[in-house]
Structure 1
């Protein structure tokens, strides 16, 4: 056992995880990999996903399963992989070289220091493991590995996590990046001692390489490739099972199954299956509290980082996306580097790769409530967004005016929005009007759960504002283009939308405050907004 060769660390990490209350068995990926290796002759796998989507867990699992550090029967004997026909032959059967490329040597200030830690560490492990092979510490890793293969007929499995981490280090130059790719090529490409190589990262190889250096890898991303997609993130059935465990084992369980869907669902695989953010689901169930677990674990001003140079192109889309609309877009297959984000397409491609947006049916969208909150913060904080920022800032006043029945102020704010020079305010359909209304009520999201086109009574109301506090006023908001606010109020009454707040027969009311019907209309001919507020 060594730091890189047959390290005990992946085994211990996965063993610890497998004992946890909310463990999800994803070991079928081992069966799929072995089928590809043994039956199809595939040897090089690169799987890219946003951070915190289970990449390191999968890497630890592979190291624990294939490596010789410890006997894995205690972990894997009762998991899905035990049913695989290759299980007895491959469990703890190989020499595994495990490299976490995000790890740095102490006081690392250069790429040479970074590479030497890996090269010297692997050579040191090989010399200890094969003392009879007359290996030399001053030789390249690949020469020593080739010597072991020639003398001992041993092949190695490479498990490499965070392959792209080095590209984000300040000390790495453009020349260093090229040298790093050549290092991976020399270590892995066409080498007889490689049984197979499994590599993970956030960004696909095409981001940094023309493909010639390490084009032996077959790449699997979340947007374009179906294979392996169900192993990164949680599927609906898996979240159902976790929620059942949560209900049985958590005193005073506060989270609903609907909460998990609203906050953490919304990502999509290439096959169209929906995925939940795994870090956030586990965090919420463990803490018995809905919170922003994924977005709070990184520098989430990075949303603005991607759009800051393309505000003119993107801000109208932002208005639509924060209201729940999809933006049609044909994405590129990879995210360009920050200096190469020249088009809106490239910006959205990068944001999908990093998990800040999701992609489905030819459109990008904000996946869930957790990320929606971050986009809302962006609109309220970044003055450079221009009219979007100014109108978002008015949203506190808009809510206050609505609760007070001050329809004059409401119409004034809507006129201010419409007078802004932007295509979205042409109101070619009620979608644009809905987006603008959502923007001018943005601050309400601190006090309300706002749903668009939610089922209520005998139909679908344009907006429902569910108060976070039981005694606060609830709002039903209906929009009319070329209609009147009175028509909107009449529709709210006639279709019994207020039933949404009154609970079932014999049950106490869900909300004890007023239920306000809000009608907002726009007349294309006069270019005027009209508003009406009535208590139901």
Structure 2
């Protein structure tokens, strides 16, 4: 038993000892299926505090010859798998957190020279009877120990990408690091499995990656690992029952990561919410809004517009394919948005990104409170007043406030089309999301309502259907709501409903509004 070679299972035991532990042991079933196959190289990237280290500790506890973990896993799902004992504590596990080594020198090269020496020291201590030709070369030592003992190695590397975060501008050192990993892992028969975790996918250099043997599991493509990326909806529902917490509010705060059709929640935030019995943003304890602010204020064409659209609740298109998988190489707005996906600030599905939940939404608001976003913040700060005016049927005030928000933000989001007006309306009604579930272009009756506000169960406020027109009239918008039977098809709601028609004139820039009340 060593610190890095064949460690014990105490780190995973601490997770099991915690007040909340959600069983993710079936991840082992996935990794077992890839042992000694061409798919034995797995790189998992996800945001901070999404359980990466816990998963690494679990795999180490399961595979390491330095402990007996049969009883530890006996209560969990993996124990019912037919192959549970086949791989249990049968491998030489090298479990390293790269953060432990990245500062052990004045350069990347020095850091990983130290890592090699440390691993060789532990391997030699446990295998001193092996006659190695060169005890100073890590790859040779691994190969000769395996050749004589015939016990394969499993590599579990946590925070594998910290080099690219800590040494952002040391391109030569980064390449040397990738070559170091390639040399000890690629095409080596002693490797039964290599499982790496980090925030960023594998760095690209030129046309090829030095680590192209890895299957990449990222926030842009979680493949078959989606349910292991965070807490699933079913898992959160069980926690809400246990802790007597409202599921709908939990979903609003911490849900929103749509991964291959699986709805994923931020694990740390859910745990903090359940144990503290409240709802708050726990994001700032792991990521600061100042970091987000730096990225969203970068000077790329279309970035500002897309950020405003997302704050307003829109989904925006993104091309993730050109991102270089580092935190310093940006050539377009798409590169910035792709990084924000990997950092957890955005969620991604089918070529589109959006802000996942209220917790992250608050971090975006914190990031734009100054620094040239004043017009956006003015609309957001006035949203409570606009909602009150709408509920009170004050048509002139609603038209005036929407017109002001539209005028002030025209330079960012454009002016003369219904899409830009729709974005302005979403921005102007920003605070409504606290008490409403907001649907964009909801299929209702014989068409699509532009915006539908369904009150949350505890809200007590009326529902609203908002129809937008330009160069027509607010009356035309109301007539369309009635003609296409929008209200009759919103089956999830019964009670008072406001029909809101808003039109603007592209020549005069004047807005008009009509509000009617009905019961559905």
C-alpha distance in 2 between matches for 1:190 and 1:27: 28
1:74 aligns with 2:46: no
Which of residues 120, 123, 138 is equivalent to 2:120? 123
Structure 1 unpaired stretches of 5+: 504-513
Mapping 1:228-267, distance limit 5 Å: 228-240=225-237, 242-243=238-239, 246-247=240-241, 249-250=242-243, 253-256=244-247, 258-267=248-257
Residue 483 (str. 1) matches residue 449 (str. 2): no
How much does 1:118 deviate?
Answer: 1.8
Contact 2:102 2:108 (8 Å CA) reproduced: no
| Cα displacement (A) at 1:396 | 6.6
Q: For the structure 1 residues 326 and 436, does the alpha-carbon distance in structure 2 shift closer, same or farther, using more than 3 Å as the test? A: same
Q: Deviations over 1:375-397 (max 9, x none)?
A: 23334x13334753554465576
Alignment check: 8 A CA contact 1:321 1:366 kept: yes
Aligned equivalents of 1:287, 1:259: Cα separation in 2: 15
Structure 1 residues 522 and 239: alpha-carbon distance in aligned structure 2, compared to 1, 3 A threshold: same
> Do structure 1's residue 438 and structure 2's residue 435 form an aligned pair?
no
SS at match of 1:530: strand
Supply the RMSD in Å over aligned alpha carbons. 4.0
Cα deviations by residue, 1:196-239 (Å, 9 ceiling, x for unpaired)? 21111121114467545322222222323523232212233333
Separation in 1, partners of 2:48, 2:206: 21
Contact 2:46–2:52 (CA under 8 A) maintained in structure 1: yes
Q: State the Cα distance separating 1:163 from its structure 2 match.
A: 0.6
Shift in Å at residue 65 of structure 1? Answer: 0.3
Length, aligned pairs only: 511
Mapping of residues 3-402 of structure 1, within 5 Å: 3-8=3-8, 11-38=9-36, 40-104=37-101, 109-133=106-130, 139-170=136-167, 173-207=170-204, 211-224=208-221, 226-240=223-237, 242-243=238-239, 246-247=240-241, 249-250=242-243, 253-256=244-247, 258-269=248-259, 271-294=260-283, 296-310=285-299, 312-332=301-321, 334-379=323-368, 381-385=369-373, 387-389=375-377, 391-392=379-380, 395=383, 398=386
Residue from 451, 455, 459 that aligns with 2:438: 451
Q: TM-score, normalised by structure 2?
A: 0.83
2:203–2:209 contact (8 Å) kept in structure 1: no
How far has the Cα of 1:121 moved from its partner?
A: 1.9
Query: Aligned equivalents of 1:185 and 1:105: distance in 2?
Result: 18
Give the structure-1-normalised TM-score: 0.81
> What SS does the aligned partner of 1:383 have?
coil
- C-alpha displacement at 1:407, in angstroms? 5.5
Would you say the 8 A contact 1:5–1:125 is kept in 2?
yes
Question: What is the Cα deviation at residue 138 of structure 1?
Answer: 6.4
